[in-house]
Structure 1
Amino acid sequence: MEAKSFWVLLTTLLFIIRGWRQIEGCLEQERIALFQLKSFFNDPIELKEWVDVKGSNCCQWERVKCNITSERVISLNLNYARRSTSNGYLNVSLFLPFEELKSLDLSNNKIEGFVDNKVSLLSAFDNLEFLGLYRNYFNDSILSKLKSLTNLKTLDLRFNRIRNLRYLQGEKMQPIMNLEVLDLYGNFLNNNDLTYLKGLSSLKSLSIGGNQLEGSIDIRGM
């Protein structure tokens, strides 16, 4: 075979392989899992690309980001993707297929809590580094579940219903010590709650405005 013909054939094969990978895209089990999430995140416009069609490349869907090498989902932006007049509980087992998920934004969805269904939050969100729960209806008890997420670096809990940080006390607080950014703006915390933040040795940024704090606060004592 002439050298020119060989390179033409090789180039053609590369285009075929590349085209096949683009068609296949994300893993089938993750595409199915994304479609199953639509039973909760039900906005027909925001998630219109999320379809139950085999072979559809979910890595190209809006609000989804994949690792270009493994083609696994690493980021989901579900901010304001649920339309409902009532609060809801999110089944965390729906996230089990996303083994490389690092960033998850669940803001503005009227979520009141997580349903475990014998699946721990740690098993579903083990690799999470960013979790956005802004403007939902989580109460104090959410902290007892979130502190098991050992890889979590940024936690956004603005405008929820957190009135006390007691779930962050004692030895049970140890796993969440890797947290670097914590945003608690717009909750119902008072000055006494700040003592529960002392164990967050890796914390670099803390927002506690818009709560029920009074007087001056000595952050050096935290």
Structure 2
Amino acid sequence: MRMLLYCFVFFFLLIHSQLSISSSSSSPDHAPQCHPHESSALLQLKTSFKFISPYDDETPVTAVWHKKTNCCTWDRITCDNVTGHVIGLDLFGCSLQGTISSNSTLFKLHHLQVLYLSYNDFRGSLILPEFGKFKNMTSLDLCNSNFSGHVPLEISHLSKLVELRLGGYLGYKVMIGENTFKALSQNLSNLTSFHLVGIDLSSLSPVISFKNFSSLIYIDLDNCKLSRKLLESIFELSNLTVLYLEDNEAPNVSLPTSNRSSALNRLTLRNNTFSIDLPLLLKDIPKSLSSLQLSFSNLVGPLPDNIQFYDSSNHLVHSAPNFTVLILSNNLLNGTIPTWIYALPYLEYLDLSDNQFTGEIIRDFETTSFGETVFLGITPRSTFQSQNLRHLDLSSNKFSGTLELEKLLISKRLAYLDLSSNNISVTFGNTKNYSLDNLEELHLSSCNITEFPHILKSSKILSTLDLSHNQIQGSVPKWLWEVGKNSLDTLDLSHNFLTYIEPLP
């Protein structure tokens, strides 16, 4: 899942950067002149918060905010190049702690267009009606900052909003009333990105719908306890491309299997209690869908074998969806892997871990993570023939037989390899012609290894090496200490039969 985490962080930062006005400070020579009352408001805002960071050497981003300098040159501040008014304040993840009251000088920055306050600690501060006074606001982010209480009706007055982020997974509860939700849907006609993470929507009446949010492209409704009616209205949004529905407790709700947006590109349903008819879901998936995540979704039984794919007009098509990511991990799926999975032409990341599949893997993947999937038989060499393979995780399976490590090293780009906890015996043949210039992590725990892999001699940037729980005997060779000399931070040689380790360099 590590590669997915990297992908998620990259995707979030990409969205954040696209929707925000650049928050980097302007050079003093070219910056507009800040208005004195806005500079004063920012300095008073700075003193209303404490800087709480787990890192001793971290300094607050507001450290360069000084009275005698131009606030348009300060970090996280953006000014209009013509008027000099402060139009952007980005305090995302700044480790600030304190409360925001109705007399906060934040609300004196009347020209704000972009305001990011997420990932701070505002100690249960209410989402105040004053937030609705920023008439030119296009992006408002109050997510995961310990705000509390009801979302005020005044937020619906921000008719220019393109991005709205509320709620979060932290300790305080944010709620939204029916009248406020209706007003948001009627007035925010420009909204393209909507986050209501952790806000309980189960009590909204059946007449409440997402249909009026017709411009929405990106929705995050993790942990919102969605009703069937709300789900149906979400899937009908014609412009929707990204939909996150993780961690929803809705045991009596079925996932809609029709009328889905033909533009949908990414669908994440991780850790839900929805009732999901997987064959119907797969049959009606739009051609545009490239990422589907259904881990921890209580899926049971074999995957359907003879899936026929349909287009948005319900016409039978012969090509599969353009999946690059397919995640079905941590379910109760069993049987063999159906052939249609191997027919997905663009698949880069496949995670079938923690199921009960049997059989063999029969094709190559750019990125492969099978985790604890149950596979039987000798690992087929064809799995590793991709010249572009960068991340391969086959750990905690039931592979058997003998595997020569160099057979996995066709790709010179390989950065991550994990074969731990299988029934295989990994050996090292003639590795003179192999180079591991890009290898960063190697996990070979419980692989019945009897010697140190000489192939590591060519590895220069290795950060993690795990050779634990093997059959290696004798002393640690001196050349091992040259492996990843300036990069290695994790080394595990435990549970072997070593007799001597010289003093570590």
TM above 0.5, yes or no, is yes
Note closer, same or farther for the CA distance 1:62–1:76 as it changes in structure 2 (3 Å cut): same
Percent identical pairs in the alignment equals: 24
Matched, 1:106 2:117: yes
**Is the contact between residue 185 and residue 209 of structure 1 (CA under 8 Å) also seen in structure 2?**
yes
Which whole-Å CA distance do the structure 2 matches of 1:176 and 1:164 have between them?
15
Where does structure 2 lack aligned partners over 5 or more consecutive residues? 1-27, 52-58, 238-505
Query: What are the within-5 Å matches in structure 2 for residues 57-76 of structure 1?
Result: 57-76=70-89
Query: What are the within-5 Å matches in structure 2 for residues 36-115 of structure 1?
Result: 36-43=44-51, 45-53=60-68, 56-81=69-94, 83-84=96-97, 88-91=99-102, 94-111=105-122, 112-115=125-128
Note closer, same or farther for the CA distance 1:170–1:98 as it changes in structure 2 (3 Å cut): closer
C-alpha deviation, 1:213, in angstroms: 3.5
Question: How many residue pairs get matched?
Answer: 196
Which has the higher mean CA deviation after the structures are superposed, 42-51 or 168-177?
Answer: 168-177
C-alpha deviation, 1:93, in angstroms: 5.4
Q: Which secondary structure state, in structure 2, belongs to the residue aligned with residue 59 of structure 1?
A: helix
Find the counterpart in structure 2 of residue 146 from structure 1: 155
Which whole-Å CA distance do the structure 1 matches of 2:105 and 2:205 have between them?
33
Which whole-Å CA distance do the structure 1 matches of 2:80 and 2:139 have between them?
16
Matched, 1:34 2:45: no
Q: Which secondary structure state, in structure 1, belongs to the residue aligned with residue 64 of structure 2?
A: coil
Richer in strand (by share): 2
* CA displacement 1:146-199 (0-9 Å, x = unmatched): 112121111011416234452435568533333221112333333857824333
Which whole-Å CA distance do the structure 1 matches of 2:95 and 2:181 have between them?
33
Note closer, same or farther for the CA distance 1:71–1:193 as it changes in structure 2 (3 Å cut): farther
Find the counterpart in structure 2 of residue 4 from structure 1: none
Which has the higher mean CA deviation after the structures are superposed, 90-99 or 44-53?
Answer: 90-99
C-alpha deviation, 1:101, in angstroms: 1.5
Find the counterpart in structure 2 of residue 204 from structure 1: 217
Where does structure 1 lack aligned partners over 5 or more consecutive residues? 1-19
Note closer, same or farther for the CA distance 1:202–1:159 as it changes in structure 2 (3 Å cut): same
Note closer, same or farther for the CA distance 1:63–1:104 as it changes in structure 2 (3 Å cut): same
C-alpha deviation, 1:67, in angstroms: 1.7
Find the counterpart in structure 1 of residue 33 from structure 2: 25
Note closer, same or farther for the CA distance 1:174–1:213 as it changes in structure 2 (3 Å cut): closer
Which whole-Å CA distance do the structure 1 matches of 2:218 and 2:226 have between them?
18
**Is the contact between residue 32 and residue 84 of structure 2 (CA under 8 Å) also seen in structure 1?**
no
Amino acid in structure 2 at the alignment position of 1:46: V
C-alpha deviation, 1:206, in angstroms: 1.8
Note closer, same or farther for the CA distance 1:136–1:208 as it changes in structure 2 (3 Å cut): same
**Is the contact between residue 90 and residue 114 of structure 1 (CA under 8 Å) also seen in structure 2?**
no
Amino acid in structure 2 at the alignment position of 1:95: L
Q: Which secondary structure state, in structure 2, belongs to the residue aligned with residue 90 of structure 1?
A: coil
Which whole-Å CA distance do the structure 1 matches of 2:220 and 2:184 have between them?
23
Q: Which secondary structure state, in structure 2, belongs to the residue aligned with residue 75 of structure 1?
A: strand
Note closer, same or farther for the CA distance 1:96–1:159 as it changes in structure 2 (3 Å cut): closer
Find the counterpart in structure 2 of residue 121 from structure 1: 131
C-alpha deviation, 1:204, in angstroms: 2.9
Q: Which secondary structure state, in structure 2, belongs to the residue aligned with residue 34 of structure 1?
A: helix
C-alpha deviation, 1:103, in angstroms: 0.4
Richer in helix (by share): 1
Note closer, same or farther for the CA distance 1:52–1:82 as it changes in structure 2 (3 Å cut): farther
Q: Which secondary structure state, in structure 1, belongs to the residue aligned with residue 197 of structure 2?
A: coil
Amino acid in structure 2 at the alignment position of 1:88: T
Q: Which secondary structure state, in structure 2, belongs to the residue aligned with residue 157 of structure 1?
A: strand
C-alpha deviation, 1:73, in angstroms: 1.3
Q: Which secondary structure state, in structure 1, belongs to the residue aligned with residue 194 of structure 2?
A: strand
C-alpha deviation, 1:102, in angstroms: 0.8
Q: TM-score, normalised by structure 1?
A: 0.70
Find the counterpart in structure 2 of residue 176 from structure 1: 188
C-alpha deviation, 1:66, in angstroms: 1.3
**Is the contact between residue 166 and residue 196 of structure 1 (CA under 8 Å) also seen in structure 2?**
no
Note closer, same or farther for the CA distance 1:30–1:163 as it changes in structure 2 (3 Å cut): closer
C-alpha deviation, 1:62, in angstroms: 0.6
Amino acid in structure 1 at the alignment position of 2:193: V
Which whole-Å CA distance do the structure 2 matches of 1:41 and 1:213 have between them?
36
Note closer, same or farther for the CA distance 1:45–1:136 as it changes in structure 2 (3 Å cut): closer
Highest relative contact order (Cα 8 Å, sep 6+), 1 or 2? 1
Which whole-Å CA distance do the structure 1 matches of 2:31 and 2:160 have between them?
33
**Is the contact between residue 131 and residue 154 of structure 2 (CA under 8 Å) also seen in structure 1?**
yes
**Is the contact between residue 64 and residue 76 of structure 1 (CA under 8 Å) also seen in structure 2?**
yes
Query: Which consecutive segments of 4 or more residues in structure 1 shift more than 6 A?
Result: none
